[in-house]
Amino acid sequence: MTSTSKTVVFFGNERLVSGLASTDAPLLRGLIAEGYHIAAVVSHHSESSSRNQRPLEVAEIAAEHNIPVLLPNKPLEILEQLVRYNADAAILSAYGRIIPQSIIDIFPFGIINVHPSLLPKYRGSTPIESAVINGDTKTGVSIMQLAAEMDAGPVFAQTEIPLTGTETKFEVYDQLSSKGAELLLQILPDILDGELRAIPQNESAASYCSLLEKSDAWLDANSLTATEAERKVRAHLEFPKTKMKLANKDIVITKAHVVEAKENILDIVCNEDTYLRIDELIGPSGRKMDGKSFLNGYAAG
């Protein structure tokens, strides 16, 4: 462990995509390993309110290191407590709450945010899903100075990764989570020493992505090509999912690929006379199965 006199507050869950089941919280673990004094971990209950009632992993890590955990409904509820910590900066990764300027202003070096896109592209809550569903050939992580306007603050540094067009959102997350933690830990000493300054974003190049809703799950094959539909399957895994009706049964598609011609009901006719073959799905029983098992169990006859 290296030694530092700097004190930081950690905001977040370190779950960069909706529906992610687990993570090893590389950023929080890295900050601890580098010897930063973590005055508190600020998170919230929403990630543990699913039907599985999963505990917050960042809270478990904090408990291991005797770090206080704060779970306010709104950040302003803990303003006075944050002031008392006298921290140099706050580090934010996937916090999922709007941070008012009065909270940002508590910290001499502000709040430093790890955002999983190459800003100013994909400001908003679903940058990883957007990169997958749009067929981007690359994406990345931006280390930025948090501002009151969503993801509009100046950027300290970026790192990018190539995309092959086969990754699921979880595979992209794994790469960006690791890359983001590595980059932040590399440049944080220079930020806190005042040697690294953030550069304003190009506002004219900004683009935005929206929060996904349950209603986004349904697959409209008439409006999407097979290629676009296959991207949706990879981008929407776990939440909001990709749903359709097949053999009069509601199913969730979990894996698919583009084919040249239709052979059976597993081949979905999409826009522009293209075809999407369902390789794997969740059937009415709630069990994941391959296409052949669905044909034998539900579509026979």
Among 5, 205, 31, smallest CA distance to 86 is for 5
Same domain, 106 and 236: no
Average pLDDT over residues 129-158: 97
Letter for the amino acid at 257?
H
Q: What is the pLDDT of residues 114-140, one digit of tens each?
A: 999 999 999 999 999 999 999 999 999
191: containing domain: 7-208
Considering only 53-57, 69-73, 160-164, 166-170, which range has the smallest mean pLDDT?
53-57
Residue for token pair 């992505």: 209
With a cut of 70, say whether residue 178 has pLDDT above it: yes
Same domain, 201 and 222: no
Same domain, 178 and 263: no
Q: What is the pLDDT of residue 49?
A: 42
Q: Write out the two tokens for 39.
A: 């005055």
Letter for the amino acid at 7?
T
The count of domains in the chain is 2
CATH number, domain containing residue 228 = 3.10.25.10
Average pLDDT over residues 207-233: 96
Q: What is the pLDDT of residue 55?
A: 60
Q: What is the pLDDT of residues 45-68, one digit of tens each?
A: 654 444 344 567 888 899 999 999
Q: Residue 21 domain-assigned?
A: yes
Task: Write down which residue in 179, 208, 237 finishes a domain.
Answer: 208
pLDDT band at 3 (very low <50, low <70, confident <90, very high): low
Q: What is the pLDDT of residue 96?
A: 83
Same domain, 185 and 223: no
What distance in Å separates the CA atoms of residue 102 and residue 74, rounded to the nearest whole number?
Answer: 12
CATH number, domain containing residue 16 = 3.40.50.170
Beta bridge partners of 141: 159
Same domain, 220 and 125: no
Residues 6+ apart with CB under 8 A from 195: none
Q: What is the pLDDT of residue 169?
A: 95
Q: Mean pLDDT, the chain, as a whole number?
A: 91
Same domain, 160 and 220: no
Q: What is the pLDDT of residue 44?
A: 81
Same domain, 151 and 254: no
Using a pLDDT cut of 90, give the percent of the chain over it: 81
Q: Residue 1 domain-assigned?
A: no
Q: Residue 63 domain-assigned?
A: yes
Using a pLDDT cut of 70, give the percent of the chain over it: 91
What distance in Å separates the CA atoms of residue 2 and residue 185, rounded to the nearest whole number?
Answer: 12
DSSP secondary structure code for residue 211 in this structure: P
Q: What is the pLDDT of residue 13?
A: 83
Residues 6+ apart with CB under 8 A from 243: 217, 218, 219, 250, 251, 252, 253
Task: Write down which residue in 191, 208, 225 finishes a domain.
Answer: 208
Same domain, 282 and 204: no
Task: Write down which residue in 208, 232, 259 finishes a domain.
Answer: 208
